[in-house]
Amino acid sequence: MTTKSCVAVTRAAYTIEQFSAIFGHARAWGYRMVRLKRVRAIRGFGSMLIPASEVDRILADGDSEGGSQ
């Protein structure tokens, strides 16, 4: 009998689709945030990725600007 071990994996980055879904928005919103330089993106390794640190930063800041895009 074999057992499977569960290992917690910390994400280093998210796709645009995943990033947008975290905040309850459509994919176009994620691309818009990158284009407006509201979030930093990693390019050049296949698909565009958003570092997990950007998600952490946004969640830590909360609604500091008083509005949403």
The tokens for 63 are 């609604």
Q: Of 68, 48, 44, whose CA–CA distance to 58 is shortest?
A: 68
Give mean pLDDT, residues 8-14. Answer: 85
Bridge partners (DSSP) listed for residue 13 = 51
Does some domain include residue 40?
Answer: yes
Does some domain include residue 35?
Answer: yes
Which of the four pLDDT bands, split at 50, 70 and 90, describes residue 69?
very low
pTM: 0.74
Instruction: Please state, in angstroms and rounded to a whole number, the distance separating the CA atoms of residues 19 and 50.
Output: 7
Q: What are 37-59's pLDDT values in tens digits?
A: 999 999 998 889 999 999 999 99
Q: What are 12-35's pLDDT values in tens digits?
A: 999 999 999 999 999 999 999 999
Does some domain include residue 44?
Answer: yes
Does some domain include residue 68?
Answer: no
* Parent domain of 31: 13-61
Does some domain include residue 7?
Answer: no
Does some domain include residue 8?
Answer: no
Does some domain include residue 20?
Answer: yes
Domain count, the chain: 1
